[in-house]
Amino acid sequence: DAKTTQPTSMDCAEGRAANLPCNHSTISGNEYVYWYRQIHSQGPQYIIHGLKNNETNEMASLIITEDRKSSTLILPHATLRDTAVYYCIVRAPMGTGNNRKLIWGLGTSLAVNP
């Protein structure tokens, strides 16, 4: 089963970039890296995903290493509202019909400080 490893917690100053790392050494060739975040007592919110190229959207950037064994989520200008738990998971693409069981770790608790 695909598993990811993330630091338990991180701090970031407001306005600075937050770089959240994730290791996924057992990722399969067709599995994507997904990032979600969860604010207390709400459902996780989708942030971004990628296969092997770097990706950027209005929320964040995703950098995936060439060997695909690790990735970094970048919040370019962190705000107080970015304080949340961030999860990195690997998941098969839609339509493959061959999902391995999703394993969510405890994520990284990011605290953005004023």
CB of 31 to another protein, least distance (A): 9
Measure the CA–CA gap between 27 and 81, rounded to whole angstroms: 31
CB of 53 to another protein, least distance (A): 17
Please give the residue ranges that form the binding site for another protein (CB under 8 A).
Answer: 34, 36, 41-46, 49, 87, 91-107
Return the sign of the alpha-carbon dihedral for residues 68, 97, 45, 106.
negative
Q: Token digits for 22?
A: 């994730």
- Residue closer to another protein (CB basis): 8 or 66: 8
CB of 15 to another protein, least distance (A): 29
In angstroms, the Cα distances linking 81 to 31, 63, 77 are 30, 22, 11
- Selection from 90, 62, 88, 89 nearest residue 74 by Cα: 62
- Residue closer to another protein (CB basis): 5 or 16: 5
How far is CA 104 from its chain centroid? 11
CB of 108 to another protein, least distance (A): 11
- Residue closer to another protein (CB basis): 77 or 104: 104
- Residue closer to another protein (CB basis): 14 or 100: 100
